[in-house]
Amino acid sequence: MPPNYPQILQTKQELESVQNEVEIARKIFEDTNTSYRDNSFQVFEKIAFYAVGSISLSITYVGYVLSQQTEVLKVSVFYLPLYVYLFISWAFLVLSLFTTLFVRWTDITHTFWASQKEYYKAKKKKEEKKISFFQSYPNIVFQDGKSKDTETAICGENVKKYTDVLIPTTERYEKRSSSLGRIIRYMAISSFVMGIVSLVFFATWTVYLRIL
């Protein structure tokens, strides 16, 4: 038994453990994000549903107004004809509808890059453990005939690749997709709110003018 056998055994166990962490890291991250995405999608699906419903109801309401008093829509309110506010509300609601469709795409993109980052980090850790294992086992023999120095050098190159290229690249794309996702969410929510406010403004004034 070599004098450093306890260290070799411990390093070997750590290596076997970290090999499992590669897939575990990806699975945990994806499970967490799946739950988050499901809840997030439900919110924006409701926004899209309400946007479509608001447009449909406003069309029905406008049809009713036109059948009663056509001139009401031409009355100027704050220097603009009333029908302009209707078109503004529709524009905001349509924008909200389209942006909600991109929420799912941005979330999927962000999750892909974030999970890749975690996967590469786990792979890097695995290569580092392999180097530690090789160094603690001086008489190790490989079936393919490669020397310990060759295998150590290969692992070192892999660590450098993960550190200098793959992990920074995935982090950069993760940040970009996250920023894009926040912009899309902001556009979806703000345009929906502006659309509803404009629509309520239009409906309130039409009711008020018809009463006069």
DSSP character string of 141-173 = --TT---HHHHHHHHHHHHHHIIIIIHHHHHHH
At 12 the pLDDT is: 58
Quick one: pLDDT at residue 95? Answer: 92
pLDDT at res. 6: 54
Confidence at residue 173, expressed as pLDDT on a 0 to 100 scale? 92
pLDDT score, position 4: 47
Instruction: Divide the 212 residues of the chain into consecutive groups of 10 and give the mean pLDDT of each group.
Output: 50 61 64 61 79 87 77 80 89 91 83 84 84 72 66 86 90 91 91 92 84 70
Q: What is the dihedral of CA 94, 96, 99, 104, to 10 degrees?
A: -120
User: Quick check: 82 and 207 in contact, CB under 8 A?
Assistant: no
Q: How is residue 207 written in tokens?
A: 């009711």
The alpha-helical segments, DSSP class H, found in the chain are 5-68, 82-136, 148-161, 167-211
Measure the CA–CA gap between 58 and 89, rounded to whole angstroms. 10
Question: Does the structural domain 5-211 have CATH classification 2.20.25?
Answer: no
- At 161, list the tokens: 């690749």
